């Protein structure tokens, strides 16, 4: 089974990717399994740039085909913020996911609801030689003022999918693997896996 190196150290993302890639004919390889520890700064101007930066760095360091991704939450009432800066949105050093959610809700106080929003994700599949292929996915929803659910990470507990009446953190793994922005990006990347990995 061909191996694909995941260009991240984020445990929540690792669990999602492992579930998403099940059944694709691809074996996911984690950096720690090959003794690789890289920390790539996200300095790109787009999700695609950040995804490619991560994937290329891991591919070149390991000599393996790598998968990088970048994603963000875009809230219409905040003119698309936090967007690219979703992970670094809270102004405090070493902010936790809970800190970021609290800061986002603080920024939304006084703005009329519903607070429509979307998650966007871009995945980049790269070869050690520098070839990069992209796939994207998005999930529409709205921000709610109270946290619900324990199955997600990041902004998931305050991101409601109105059609289901559930937050991203209330979804089962099976539901999330059909509906999330990352799930849709991986689904859209299947043709890339076929062409690059031969699966």
Write down the pLDDT at residue 43: 82
Mean pLDDT taken over the chain: 92
Write down the pLDDT at residue 50: 95
User: For each of the chain's 199 residues, which pLDDT tens digit applies?
Assistant: 888 999 987 777 788 888 888 777 888 888 888 888 888 887 889 999 999 999 999 999 999 999 999 999 999 999 999 999 998 899 998 999 999 999 999 999 999 999 999 999 999 999 999 999 999 999 999 999 999 999 888 999 999 999 999 999 999 988 888 899 999 999 999 889 888 887 6
Q: For residue 48, which of 112, 116, 137 has the smallest C-alpha distance? A: 137
User: What is the domain-level CATH number for residue 10?
Assistant: 3.90.950.10
Write down the pLDDT at residue 128: 92
- Full domain range(s) for residue 85: 3-197
The CA distances from residue 108 to 46, 73, 198, in Å, are: 24, 14, 46
The CA distances from residue 52 to 19, 48, 49, in Å, are: 22, 6, 5
| Tokens 């659910």 sit on residue | 149
Total tally of structural domains belonging to the chain: 1
**Cα end-to-end distance, the chain, whole Å:** 8
Tokens of 187: 């689904």
Write down the pLDDT at residue 122: 97
> Would the CA dihedral through 44, 45, 50, 56 be positive or negative?
negative
Angle at 190 between CA 67 and CA 121, to 5 degrees: 55
Q: For residue 175, which of 160, 164, 191 has the smallest C-alpha distance? A: 164
Tokens of 138: 């998005």
Write down the pLDDT at residue 69: 93
Q: What pLDDT, in 10s, does the model give residues 21-78?
A: 877 788 888 888 888 888 888 788 999 999 999 999 999 999 999 999 999 999 999 9
pTM equals 0.88
Hey, which residues are catalytic here?
A: 70
């Amino acid at each position: 089974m061909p191996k694909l190196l995941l260009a991240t150290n984020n445990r929540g993302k690792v669990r999602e990717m492992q579930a998403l890639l099940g059944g694709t004919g691809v074996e996911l390889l984690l950096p720690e399994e090959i003794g690789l520890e890289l920390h790539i700064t996200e300095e790109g101007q787009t999700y695609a740039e950040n995804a490619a930066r991560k994937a290329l760095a891991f591919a070149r360091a390991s000599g393996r085909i790598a998968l990088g991704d970048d994603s963000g939450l875009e809230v219409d009432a905040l003119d698309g913020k936090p967007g690219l800066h979703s992970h670094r949105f809270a102004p405090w050093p070493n902010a936790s996911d809970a800190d970021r959610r609290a800061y986002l809700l603080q920024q939304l106080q006084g703005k009329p609801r519903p607070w429509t929003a979307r998650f966007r994700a871009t995945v980049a599949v790269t070869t050690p030689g520098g070839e990069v292929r992209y796939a994207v996915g998005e999930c529409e929803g709205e921000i709610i003022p109270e946290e619900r659910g324990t199955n997600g990470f990041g902004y998931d507990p305050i991101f409601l999918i109105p059609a289901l009446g559930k937050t991203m953190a209330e979804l089962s793994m099976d539901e999330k693997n059909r509906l999330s922005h990352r799930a849709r990006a991986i689904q859209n990347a299947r043709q890339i896996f076929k062409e690059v990995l031969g699966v």
